[in-house]
Amino acid sequence: MYDRRMAIVDLSKGKVKEYTIPKKWRRDFLGGRGINSYLLYNLIEKGTDPFSPRNVLVLGVGPLGGTLAPSSSRFNVSGLSPETGILGDSNCGGFFGPELRFAGFDHLVLRGKSKKPSYVNVQDGEIEIRDAKDYWGLDTLEVQISLRKDLGDVESVVTGVAGENKVRMACLRTGVKNAAGRCGMGALMGSKNVKAVVASGVNGVKVEHPQRMLELMEEIKDYLMGSKITPILGSQGTPLLYEVSNALGAIRTKNSQLNAWSDSLNAEELEKYVEKMISCSSCFMHCRHRNVFDGEGPEYTAVGLLGANLGLEDYPEVIKLNNTCNELGLDISSSGSILGWAFELYERGIIDKKLTGQELRFGDSELADELLHKIAGREGFGDILAESSRAVKKFGPESKDYLIAVKGLPQSDPHDVRYIKAFALGIATASRGADHLRSRPTLEIFFRLPLEVKEKIYGKGITADPTSYEGKERAVYFSDNIFATIDSVGICKFICHGFNSPHFLGYEHFSKLLHAVTGMRFREKELENIGKRIIDTERMFNLKHGMTAKDDTLPKRYFDDPMTMKVSKGHKIDRKNFEKMKKRYYKLRNWDEKGRVKKQRVKEIESYGGLQ
């Protein structure tokens, strides 16, 4: 069996070099996102253009990936983001991550640029760069089917037509729906003339203490199945959240001009169009929908951003747009946000037919579908939208006032963060831009969580009221750290403490699982420190690539426009209170007043060195 190997694939030279991952890295960054981020900091020089061959694309699986550990399907794809110019990092489920480990590698770095369309084949410990001319131009599903037809039972992570055309919000996809969605990782793969990374292997993953692993899994299964939340997630999946956010008046609607929308997008309406619930590798949650229109999804993100945000009320229309994004290889979060932004700009007269070539309007799914195809093909007005938030250059400076993005990344989830202040700080400071999957302190939405429970989780100083700015830096700090650790051990946040129930898996469980699998002992505090180290490394990467404290902010609308509907009515973000909260967050993280990692810490992290 293989154990913790990585390889650098030089696409320009056609060469592959293999390495054993240094034990020190495994100990202090674990794997997955942690080691990926450390590699990015080391390998990408300041001033690199995201589409330059000097950029790298890193795929990484955590040490629990491919084992019996629950929901251990996850892997991370990282690089300098074509969408934002800072950290690009995206976490993905499905079956590819485990298969990459079965094929012999935990991390794969693609550098340089292939002279012709290629794919990278990883099979039983061997890596080969192969011709992809027969696959170029295929959509994300067609290419995976073709690869299986030609190569047998392989798993692949692929870029679609959008990625081939370097659409800055192009994602990578594996299976029908699973996506390394955020930050344009599909465009980065496309810029390297690579269509896919394919993995297959007959070896398993080395587990140091198999008997202990079996016992642990029995315990963990009972523990998770005992939660009231588990059957809800398994039967409804994430679309359940639409109704919750909508009840609060916190659904981003028509580019956040409104904050509540139609009940027709509630989860029970979706059930009419669901064939069955399915799962990723090693997961008993089964939160994914196979829909009756030959696709998978939608997730809550798609319901909100391709539904309410585009002014659509009809589920079949939303599901079809979801399937279109999946097939073309477009990130749903960015696509829905950018379309909603363009529609509002047109309504306001900030852009017109001279630029768009056609009338734009909310509530028209055919128009949205047409534009998604134009974006993927970079045709006409689609070529401008394909630049994602960088379209400000064409739309003019006023357009920026209506852009729902942070650090150039359109907001990931449909939840309007003006009401719950910790959510606002979370998306403002997240290392990849406006994204809830980096630090969303979900427990803030449990309005009746006793203060003593909150204090036990987040520390003294946290306040009970979700609309207060006081102490909310603690909730974001805790979540940032544990999410980074979760992404680095290789399991899904859905079953973890902090993201859902406080009774889901936390550091204590990670420690036990890591010992069973790797034989290495980690104290809970050490695992939290690994999360902190990863956040600091990502901050160092972003600072190196030009980010400053000014970029830790929110869309202008969130500061200026109060919400108008339901529970959230009247709420917006107060600039002074936000800045104070942000400064407190920096202090907690031991960054300086300008949000910079202190020199001693930089020195400490840089001392881990490079690959030998």
Partner 1 sequence: MEITLKLLKPLKDAIGKDSLTLEVDEGTVTSLLEHVSKAYPELGKELLDDKGGLDYRVNVILNDKPLNELDVEVNDGDQVTLFIPVSGG
Q: Which residues bind partner 1 (CB under 8 A)?
A: 228-229, 231-233, 235-238, 240-241, 243-244, 247-248, 266-268, 287, 299-301, 412-413, 436-437, 440, 442, 445-450, 453, 464-466, 493-494, 499-501, 566-567, 569
Which residue's entry shows tokens 């496309």?
190
The C-alpha atoms of residue 305 and residue 318 are separated, in whole angstroms, by: 9
The nearer residue to partner 1, 143 or 486, going by C-beta atoms, is 486
Q: What is the DSSP string of 580-608?
A: HHHHHHHHHTTB-TTSPBPHHHHHHHHTT
Task: Please state the closest distance from residue 345 (CB atom) to partner 1, in A.
Answer: 27
Task: Please state the closest distance from residue 231 (CB atom) to partner 1, in A.
Answer: 8
- Let me know: does 195 contact 118? Beta carbons within 8 Å: yes
The C-alpha atoms of residue 242 and residue 305 are separated, in whole angstroms, by: 11
The nearer residue to partner 1, 461 or 519, going by C-beta atoms, is 461
Judged on CB neighbours under 10 Å (0-12, 13-18, 19+), 466 is: buried
CA distances from 115 to 56, 143, 351 (A): 16, 20, 39
Task: Please state the closest distance from residue 442 (CB atom) to partner 1, in A.
Answer: 4
The C-alpha atoms of residue 26 and residue 10 are separated, in whole angstroms, by: 23
* Structural tokens at position 371: 């534009």
Q: What is the DSSP string of 253-276?
A: BTTTTBS---GGGSHHHHGGGEEE
The nearer residue to partner 1, 166 or 177, going by C-beta atoms, is 177
The nearer residue to partner 1, 351 or 434, going by C-beta atoms, is 434
Task: Please state the closest distance from residue 244 (CB atom) to partner 1, in A.
Answer: 5
The C-alpha atoms of residue 388 and residue 167 are separated, in whole angstroms, by: 8
Task: Please state the closest distance from residue 218 (CB atom) to partner 1, in A.
Answer: 23
The nearer residue to partner 1, 51 or 242, going by C-beta atoms, is 242
Task: Please state the closest distance from residue 499 (CB atom) to partner 1, in A.
Answer: 5
The nearer residue to partner 1, 446 or 525, going by C-beta atoms, is 446
Task: Please state the closest distance from residue 73 (CB atom) to partner 1, in A.
Answer: 14
The nearer residue to partner 1, 140 or 236, going by C-beta atoms, is 236
The nearer residue to partner 1, 493 or 545, going by C-beta atoms, is 493
The nearer residue to partner 1, 57 or 241, going by C-beta atoms, is 241
Task: Please state the closest distance from residue 437 (CB atom) to partner 1, in A.
Answer: 5
The C-alpha atoms of residue 422 and residue 427 are separated, in whole angstroms, by: 9
Identify the DSSP state of 389.
Answer: G
- Let me know: does 65 contact 390? Beta carbons within 8 Å: no
Counting other chains too, the contacts that 524-527 makes at CB distance below 8 Å and 24 or more residues apart are: 527/485
Q: Which segments of 276-418 does DSSP mark as H helices, in order?
A: 300-305, 315-328, 332-348, 353-356, 365-377, 381-385, 392-395
Angle between helices 507-518 and 472-489 (to 10 degrees): 20
Task: Please state the closest distance from residue 550 (CB atom) to partner 1, in A.
Answer: 28
The nearer residue to partner 1, 570 or 610, going by C-beta atoms, is 570
CA angle 438, 569, 365 (to 5 degrees): 65
Pairing mode, strands 172-174 and 155-159: antiparallel
Task: Please state the closest distance from residue 313 (CB atom) to partner 1, in A.
Answer: 18
